[in-house]
Amino acid sequence: MRCRHLSLTNFRTYGRLELDLPPGVSVLCGNNAQGKSNLLEALYMLATIKSFRTTSERELVSWHAGADERFARVSAEIERQASTSRLDIILVEPASGNAANAAAGARTRAIQKRIRLNQQPRRSLDALGQLNCVLFTPADVELITGSPAQRRRYLDIMLCQVDPHYVRVLSRYQRVLTQRNALLRQLRDRRLPPDQLGYWTEQVVALGSELIVGRGQAVTTLNSSLAAIHPRLVDDRPSLGIVYRSSVTDLPSTLAEEAGAVARTDDVRSAVAAQFAAQLDAQQERERRQGMTVVGPHRDDLAFTVDGMDLNRFGSRGQQRTAALAVKLAEAAVMEQRTGERPVLLLDDVLSELDPQRRLLLQEILAGDGLPAASAPSDGRDSGADRGGQVLLTTTELRPFTPAFLAAATVFQIANGALRPAATT
Ligand SMILES: Nc1ncnc2c1ncn2[C@@H]1O[C@H](COP(=O)(O)OP(=O)(O)OP(=O)(O)O)[C@@H](O)[C@H]1O
Ligand SMILES: [Mg+2]
């Protein structure tokens, strides 16, 4: 799939932008603070319906927007193999009423987010996955070195883009978990008889085991795609592996036996549910003491290993960065396998992270025959020119790129939130 056209109004540095985006690789080149990352942020927002940089959507509305146009709009024409769609996200600051304290009042009121798909209003949950993007930024080394919550979030974002069922299960799990935790707190404070808990425990187990199995299966496919991609990025050094560490079950061994056996997913889910229920049973005392659900997918983690070595603890910084990049490239292959469409790759400042040899290898991967698929070759719907899919990458200079890579790419110069095609020689 690709974003054919991007329109921005009052989005961060962009007062107004109308940009046709070609298939293949686009290089966005510009000095610091010119709006390169802002543009990737806008595209990624269309995929996930949230900003990856801020939870305060008010920050996205341009500071330069006049008092009568306190809104931001991000719109795209999205081309898939069989259809084209238009997605709009509009952020509106509520009207500030009468003059007195207007500015202060407007600052405290929540911003409204309106989403339209082909001009029809949609809820956030229903707009996810219209555009599929994989984003890599320098901060993504935290996938390896950051908190378990960041790693869980990573898997959840990937799955939410490609699996509408997962989105709903995740959202219900979060609600049910909040309810169960509230009850556990009341039990701790002896404000409730214990028999109230059973229903919520059942719900947490049913929904939670779906999440665990969904994530475990995603990790299995990520691994098979990593086996193809990581050696190409590190010149055939030992391969990177990911293990899903569940707090309720030894999932890798269960899933290894079931890998690819879709018909038996239900069996795996029942097995995981049984172990989850048994764990909750065993942890009753601890839960009542702490007033919260102490095991479940909200406590799970991922481990990254190279040749059996834990990358988080022992990896060099460069190894960790390359691993995070490899995981993102593998993610693109997984998403393609799930949807039949290659996602748009957004690579922010990616070369600055890599040594010269890895820079070359990455350019070969991006420009050459594209990313290896996580599964058997696709059914031939791929058109030759588009095999690598759409890639947008940002850089402050063109020097690190090979002439061949630049010759095959479209290069945009970006300054003060305006883009123009650039000469590459
Ligand atoms: N709501 C906003 N309105 C106007 N300008 C904004 C807004 N939010 C951020 N900016 C400006 O956007 C600029 C940063 O843009 P961006 O992060 O896209 O830069 P960049 O080109 O990626 O730079 P770098 O090479 O340093 O990564 C900052 O100068 C900041 O002041
Ligand atoms: Mg930037």
Q: What is the pLDDT along the chain (425 residues), one digit of tens a residue?
A: 999 999 999 999 999 999 999 999 999 999 999 999 999 999 999 999 999 999 999 999 999 998 888 999 999 999 999 999 999 999 998 876 555 555 555 556 789 999 999 999 999 988 998 999 999 999 999 999 999 999 999 999 999 989 999 999 999 999 999 999 999 998 888 777 767 799 999 999 999 999 999 999 999 999 999 998 988 888 767 789 999 999 998 776 666 555 555 447 788 899 899 999 999 999 999 998 999 999 999 999 999 998 888 999 999 988 899 999 999 999 999 999 989 999 999 999 999 878 999 999 999 999 865 555 544 444 444 444 445 689 999 999 999 999 999 999 999 999 988 999 887 65
What's the 132 CA to ligand 2 centre distance in angstroms? 21
Distance of CA 37 from the midpoint of ligand 1 (Å):
7
Query: What residue ranges of the chain are covered by domains with CATH 1.20.1050.90?
Result: 142-312
| Ligand lying closest to the C-alpha of residue 28 | 1
- Backbone φ, ψ for residue 62 (5° rounding): -55, 135
* Superfamily designation of domain 142-312: RecF/RecN/SMC, N-terminal domain (1.20.1050.90)
Give me ligand 2 centre to Cα 304, in Å: 27
Question: Taking CB atoms and a 6 Å cutoff, what residues make up the pocket around ligand 1?
Answer: 12-13, 30, 32-38, 59, 61-63, 396
Nearest residue (by CA) to ligand 1, atom 8, is 12
Per CATH, the homologous superfamily of domain 2-132+341-421 is P-loop containing nucleotide triphosphate hydrolases (3.40.50.300)
Tell how far the Cα of 343 is from the centroid of ligand 2, in angstroms.
21
Q: How many angstroms does the Cα of residue 31 sit away from the middle of ligand 2?
A: 9
First to last CA, the chain: 30
Which residue, judged by its Cα, is nearest atom 12 of ligand 1? Answer: 13
Q: Whose CA is nearest to atom 25 of ligand 1?
A: 32
**Atom 13 (ligand 1) nearest CA:** 33
- Location of each CATH 3.40.50.300 domain in the chain: 2-132+341-421
